[in-house]
Structure 1
Amino acid sequence: MKRTLAIIFFLTLFQNTQAQTRARILSRHSTDSLFTPALQQQLEISYPIFRAYQYTDKGGAGYLLLMEKSEINGRDTTVTNLAAICIQQGQSGFKTLWKMKDLLEPEEASIWFWSKYIQLQDLNGDGYIDPYVVYGSRSREEEGEYRRLKILLYNNGSKTAIRAVTGTLDEERSLQYDKSFSTLPAPMQAYFKQLLQRISKETDYILAN
């Protein structure tokens, strides 16, 4: 009975805090109008903005920007570098909360954000959006199965990473959680484990056992 009441309490709390948070994808026009070349220079944004998310929570208004740098070879476009920045908007301007960068490894042909799996929401019911990014790569070899998958979560100013590599053989696959993952609230741990399984199912990404 006590356990049932605790679950009901958490679900009620989660629904209430979700109602206090909002997130949306900005249009290209809104993105360009807000993040002018001058502001991008101020925020040290060096790659084109691929997608911009706007959100509000107990901390106020914030933005998550995803950036991709591409190379064009004939008819082929290859993403070679990724970057993301999470910023908060206040009365005195914009404040960078965190940023990340990654790039192609020698055995990879391309790397890109898997925006389908990025959803900005309050994952543990504390009234704050928990921004995270998901990205992966494609093997340079046409028949190669080497692919890298990475999830980066930022919670209370700390970064937690989940790193996965898949391949043809069992010994080529790996799945690694940062030690800080075990300190995350249980609902957040469950969310990302379920997200991994969803990605595996929908993309034929074979995870290590």
Structure 2
Amino acid sequence: MKPSLFMFLLACTSSFAWAQGKAVNTTCKNDVMLMHAATLKKLNIQLPVSHHYCYSDQSGNYVLYLAEEQDVGYPSENLSNSIAAYQFKIEDDQSLSYPIIVRDKAARNDAGVGFRAKLIEFADIDGDGRIEPILVYRFYLDDNAKINYDPYFGRLKIVMLYKGEKVVIRASTGPYHGDAFTTASENFFSFPKSVQDYLARKMKKMSEDNLFAFEHNHNYMPLKKREPYKEF
């Protein structure tokens, strides 16, 4: 089932996150231009746009597009073989520049992949006046022609856009000891501790909400590489 028009508009006009205690308005005021077919073609956004968000900080004005193929149909929702996210800076003349692009694909044994819009955040985590978008998307398994939403099955990625860099947290989980592990890209470990702790708290909250069973032997902090499993 594709997202309804109501949910699409809700995601584009009413998505807020907390930035140093203040709500971030992600409403796009110039949708006619931003969502025009000619604009998307010029930006080389080839997949259908499922959500888009605009925000401003001391470094300028930005738009973030989430695009999903939605070519894998299930009774509960459509998943995708391919997804992408595009962050552009909106210049004074309304041109879009300096893109940061995230692309990913489902593996052969996955039911598909999809962005989790309710888990997306826009926050000034380190108090420097710049907003860090945080994206979440999950890879699901197939369970007799149904999506397996069980938090103890599947994979998940968290991608944060931080001062022009992409930091990626990769998490896998499973029902047995040793199945769950969480790793991060190298740049994560050079970021301020406040940023690292924020993402760890986000994973803890997702676990507490029964959304995804993260490995938590290290207080939800990701590792540089997967540790060998040891029997108790």
TM-score after normalising by structure 2: 0.73
8 Å contact kept, 2:34–2:40 = no
Moved more, 109-118 or 139-148: 139-148
8 Å contact kept, 1:23–1:121 = no
Higher strand share: 1
CA distance in 2, matches of 1:179, 1:124: 19
- Report what 2:67 is aligned to: 67
Deviations 1:22-41 (A, max 9, x none): 431449xx645532111101
- Report what 1:200 is aligned to: 207
TM-score after normalising by structure 1: 0.81
> Which structure 2 segments of 5+ residues have no match?
1-18, 218-232
8 Å contact kept, 2:154–2:174 = yes
Higher helix share: 1
The total of aligned residue pairs comes to 191
Map 1:161-200 onto structure 2 (within 5 A): 161-200=168-207
Instruction: Say what the alpha-carbon RMSD is for the aligned residues.
Output: 2.5
CA distance in 2, matches of 1:149, 1:69: 18
8 Å contact kept, 2:72–2:112 = no
Summarize the Cα distance change of 1:204–1:67 in structure 2 as closer, same or farther, 3 Å threshold: closer
**Given residue 140 of structure 1, which amino acid in structure 2 is its aligned partner?**
D
- Alpha-carbon shift at residue 193 of structure 1 (Å): 0.4
Moved more, 132-141 or 187-196: 132-141
- Report what 1:154 is aligned to: 161
Task: Look up the SS of the partner of 2:123 in the other structure.
Answer: coil
8 Å contact kept, 1:43–1:96 = no
CA distance in 1, matches of 2:78, 2:183: 30
Task: Look up the SS of the partner of 2:124 in the other structure.
Answer: coil
CA distance in 2, matches of 1:125, 1:74: 42
- Alpha-carbon shift at residue 78 of structure 1 (Å): 3.1
- Alpha-carbon shift at residue 99 of structure 1 (Å): 0.5
> Which structure 1 segments of 5+ residues have no match?
1-13
